[in-house]
């Protein structure tokens, strides 16, 4: 078996949530320590890692980032190497991201180039967000790369395909949590209560009017409420309700406007339903913005390669905290085709493992081109 496919399967067995990736960190370290240590420097950061590979005659540092956390999802793939952890799964492909990064790292330990390389194994991409604090860490400030790259698996594209574009690739995102508190009571006496089920239902409908009536139709924004929790039993009017969701926009300005309108709508719910409301915007991820010059160079180079097809795609409402790194360090992210029937964050996501070698080969080819010129 391809060693990096085996690594992917090993990591798929042990998904862990953000900042709890203890087994994952230990596994990564155990593999990296099998490599020649002559040119390697390793530093831990919380549950993540920085791994620097010294170049032969460095003029710059090239960075590569892989995220390492899983999602709170019960796996339903039926694979022999399905998750051993209840309600935790690598349903966003971070097991692929890590195995690819280890493949590229292994190549450069054995085949050093002129420039230094920095491999960043980042925790908590799915939440609460590891990229921004990792970027601000003392280690990153000391080893900060001059350019940085990353990829994300794409179930909708076939193996052997990569997709990207100059400029905006992924949206600005923000979590959204709204807690409502009214007055509960017996179902037979609704006039003596303030029903938070009714308030929550009204609020969900009003939130959608923000997109249809407050955002320019030529712009793009999304408010999704993915979870509502309220009530205890069928004959008690609910005193509390909690809405959990996400906001996604293609500009900082739209994000500000959407949040301003959410604040106003929620105040209206407070008045109309005589209740209390608390809004928490949780973690916010900055847009993924690919450096135009670097992306043009990358696309031109990849179009000379016979092993991969390059698609110049549209921007997506996907969120990725790699955007914080691209905000300070020029670079790019691209989609890697893995051809899965089921999409990202699905309990049956099953990416094709042939994509691992495709990614390792194109990345080592391009990084060598970058690092020896």
CA distances from 91 to 106, 125, 157, 191, 370 (A): 25, 13, 17, 46, 32
β partners of residue 152: 335
Number of C-beta neighbours around residue 33 at 10 A? 10
Number of C-beta neighbours around residue 43 at 10 A? 15
Rg from Cα positions in the chain = 23
Kindly report whether the peptide bond that precedes residue 128 is cis, defined as omega within 30 degrees of 0.
yes
Is there a catalytic annotation at residue 293? no
What is the CB-side half-sphere exposure of residue 100 using CA atoms within 13 A? Answer: 29
Is there a catalytic annotation at residue 67? yes
Nearby residues of 293 by Cβ (< 8 Å), 6 or more positions away: 330
Q: What is the number of H-type helices and E-type strands within the chain?
A: 10, 17
Q: Helices 94-110 & 354-371, crossing angle to 10 degrees?
A: 50
Q: Which of 16, 21, 67, 69 is catalytic?
A: 67
- Beta-sheet pairing, 161-164 with 309-312: parallel
DSSP 10-50: HHHHS---TT--HHHHHHHHHHHTTS--TTEEEEEETTEEE
Q: Which of 21, 126, 320, 353 is catalytic?
A: 126
Phi/psi of residue 227, nearest 5 degrees: -150, 135
Catalytic residues: 67, 126
């Amino acid at each position: 078996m391809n060693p990096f496919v085996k690594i992917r399967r090993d990591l798929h067995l042990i998904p862990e949530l953000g900042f709890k990736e203890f087994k994952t960190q230990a596994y990564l370290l155990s593999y990296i320590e099998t490599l020649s240590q002559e040119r390697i420097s390793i530093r831990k950061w919380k549950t993540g890692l920085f791994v620097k590979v010294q170049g032969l005659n460095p003029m710059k540092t090239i960075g590569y980032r892989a995220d390492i956390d899983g999602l709170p999802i019960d796996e339903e793939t039926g694979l022999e190497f399905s998750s051993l952890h209840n309600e935790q799964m690598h349903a966003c492909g971070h097991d692929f991201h890590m195995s690819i990064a280890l493949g590229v790292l292994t190549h450069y330990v054995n085949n050093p180039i002129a420039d230094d390389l920095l491999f960043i194994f980042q925790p908590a991409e799915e939440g609460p967000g590891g990229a921004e604090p990792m970027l601000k860490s003392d280690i990153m400030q000391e080893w900060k790369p001059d350019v940085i790259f990353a990829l994300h698996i794409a179930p909708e594209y076939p193996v052997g395909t990569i997709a990207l574009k100059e400029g905006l690739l992924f949206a600005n995102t923000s979590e959204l949590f709204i807690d409502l508190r009214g007055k509960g009571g017996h179902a037979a006496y609704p006039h003596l209560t303030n029903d938070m089920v009714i308030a929550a239902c009204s609020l969900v409908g009003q939130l959608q009017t923000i997109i249809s009536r407050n955002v320019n139709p030529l712009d793009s924004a999304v408010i999704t409420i993915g979870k509502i929790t309220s009530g205890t039993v069928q004959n008690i009017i609910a005193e509390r309700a909690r809405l959990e969701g996400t906001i996604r926009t293609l500009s900082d300005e739209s994000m500000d406007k959407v949040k301003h309108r959410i604040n106003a709508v929620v105040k209206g719910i407070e008045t109309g339903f005589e209740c209390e409301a608390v809004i928490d915007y949780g973690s916010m991820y900055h847009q993924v913005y690919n450096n135009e010059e670097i992306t043009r160079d990358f696309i031109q180079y990849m179009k000379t390669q016979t092993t991969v097809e390059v698609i110049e795609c549209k921007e997506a409402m996907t969120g990725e905290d790699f955007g914080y790194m691209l905000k300070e360090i020029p670079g790019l992210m691209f989609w890697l085709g893995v051809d899965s029937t089921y999409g990202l964050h699905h309990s049956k996501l099953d990416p094709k493992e042939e994509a691992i070698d495709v990614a390792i080969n194109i990345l080592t080819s391009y990084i060598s081109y970058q690092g020896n010129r």
